[in-house]
A = this chain, B = another copy of it.
Amino acid sequence: MADTTDTTADGGAAAGASWDNEQSEVLLDYYRQMVLIRTFEQTASEMYKRAKIGGYCHLNSGEEATVVGLMAALERRDYLFTNYRDHGYALCRGMEPGAVMAELFGKSTGVARGLGGSMHMFDTEVRMLGGYGVVGGQLPVATGAALALTYRGEAGTEAEALMCQLGDGTTNIGAFHESLNLAAIWDLPIVYVIVNNRLGMGTSVEAASGEPELYKRGASYRMEGDRVDGNDVVAVREAAAAAMHRARTERKPFLLEAMSYRLKGHSVVDPERYRSSESSEEAKESDPLPAMRDWLLAQGVLDEDKADQIESDADQQVDDAVSFADSSPDPDPADLFDYSYATDVANAPHTLPGEPVVEMP
């Protein structure tokens, strides 16, 4: 197990060394996806300020290389569960930017009909079975979904497997422990990926975790683990793909830790008073986007024109997404009770505030 304990010093650019063997088109595609996520979320942040988006809104900004690398490791047949910091995953997994933006706008064309919002991207089509808002809540559920995979097919290279993303702070909660233990004793095809962005909301990994090298926590379940530079999109993909392959073929769970950064506040409204200026500086230096852009330029895979093109394409896509979301209808309060229950039964309560629940003759 490679122990890439310190991935801070060199950052994304140096990590690029591992990109030499990749086809240019593949790398460009990754870069394109990273730019799309960044652009999408910058706009989302803007739309939040304009009150087009409400509630909480957590961004992947700074984590794009991790997100894209992880998603590149999944096959279409694989399943994904994430936490509430889920826009990038939704986009990379193949949800339409328009439908994702519409979800943020709370429109009926949103991926969850506007009922979920930012934290709750979900689309059975692309097998992303949800962004979840309660810290750790996705882990038992994802573990059970992985259990279900063992009921419907044999292990093998073509088997379905499952990825469950979580944050560093989430390794301290009970659900993490119970889930990993179950996955271990039941030999489940699941890869748990800790996106270690160094912070809970404002709490550092060191302050929160007795063992701050989080991938080592798999040892409590004899579960293998590894740490990877989250700014190195290819390294992330390789590590995740290897773990997914193992999950498919051997039905062994894995604990992968991607060392990443959170460029912005915990959510778009977080003033980050707790963040020292150095740590903000450090985070900015670790921004995977300029690093990858520079590397691609240096390698001649990209030129300035093409780079601009990628950015303006992303702008266009996001503009279209906003237009789509903007022009989409609100969900209709008359449909409020449509998704209370999957199986209708007698006497289900369908009354609005103040309406009587039972008639007096």
Does B185 lie within 8 Å of A207, measured CB to CB? Answer: yes
Take A216-B219, A219-B219, A220-B217 as given contacts and tell me if A185 and B173 are in contact as well, using a CB distance cutoff of 8 Å.
no
Q: Which of A172, A181, A223 has the most CB of B within 10 A?
A: A181
Query: Does residue A284 face the partner (Cβ distance < 8 Å to B)?
Result: no
Cβ of A272 within 8 Å of any chain B Cβ, yes or no, is: no
Q: Which of B176, B184, B216 contacts A210 (CB 8 A)?
A: B184
Task: Give A160-193 as 1s and 0s: 1 = Cβ < 8 Å from B's Cβ atoms.
Answer: 0000000000001111111011001100000000
Chain B min CB distance to A345 (Å)? 32
Q: A221 contacts which chain B residues (CB < 8 A)?
A: 209-211
Known: A210-B223, A211-B219. A178 touches B185 (CB 8 A): no
**A222 close to B (CB within 8 Å):** yes
Bitwise, A195-219 to B at CB < 8 A (1) or not (0) is 0000000000001111100001101
Chain B residues with CB under 8 Å of A174's CB are 173-178
In A252-271, the 8 Å CB interface with B consists of none
Nearest Cβ on chain B to A38's Cβ, whole angstroms:
34
**How many chain copies does the complex carry?**
2
Least Cβ–Cβ distance between A67 and chain B, in angstroms: 26
Distance between A192 CB and nearest chain B CB, rounded to angstroms: 13
Chain B, Cβ-Cβ closest to A223: B210
Q: Please name the residue on chain B nearest to A214 by beta carbon.
A: B220
Quick one: closest B residue to A184, CB to CB? B210
- What residues of chain B lie closer than 8 Å to A209, measured between beta carbons? 181, 185, 221
Selected from B175, B180, B185, B211, the residue in CB contact (under 8 A) with A222 is: B211
Shortest distance in angstroms between A84's beta carbon and chain B's nearest beta carbon? 20
The CA of A223 and the CA of B178, in the complex, are separated in Å by 19
- CB of B184 within 8 A of CB of A178, answer no
Docked Cα-Cα span, A228 to B276, in Å, equals: 46
Inter-subunit contact A173/B180 (CB<8 Å): no
Shortest distance from the beta carbon of A98 to any chain B beta carbon, whole Å? 40
Query: A139 to chain B: closest CB distance in Å?
Result: 10
- Residues of B contacting A176 in the complex (Cβ-Cβ under 8 angstroms): 174, 177
User: With the chains together, A223 CA to B209 CA distance in Å?
Assistant: 11
Chain B proximity of A277: nearest CB distance (Å): 26
Per the bound structure, the CA–CA distance linking A176 and B210 in Å amounts to 13
> Cβ of A184: which chain B residues have Cβ within 8 Å of it?
210
CA–CA, A210 and B224, complex, Å: 11
Contact among B175, B207, B210, B222 for A220, CB-based, below 8 A: B210
**Chain B residues positioned under 8 Å from A211 (CB to CB):** 219-222
The list of the 10 closest CB pairs from A to B, nearest first, reads A174-B174, A210-B221, A184-B210, A177-B177, A217-B220, A220-B220, A181-B210, A211-B222, A174-B178, A210-B222
**Could you show 16 A-B contacts with beta carbons less than 8 Å apart?**
A172-B181, A173-B178, A174-B175, A174-B177, A174-B178, A177-B177, A177-B178, A180-B210, A209-B221, A210-B220, A210-B221, A211-B220, A216-B219, A216-B220, A219-B219, A219-B220
Known: A174-B177, A185-B209, A211-B221. 13 other contacts (CB 8 A): A172-B178, A173-B174, A173-B177, A173-B178, A176-B177, A177-B178, A185-B210, A210-B221, A210-B222, A211-B220, A216-B219, A219-B220, A220-B220
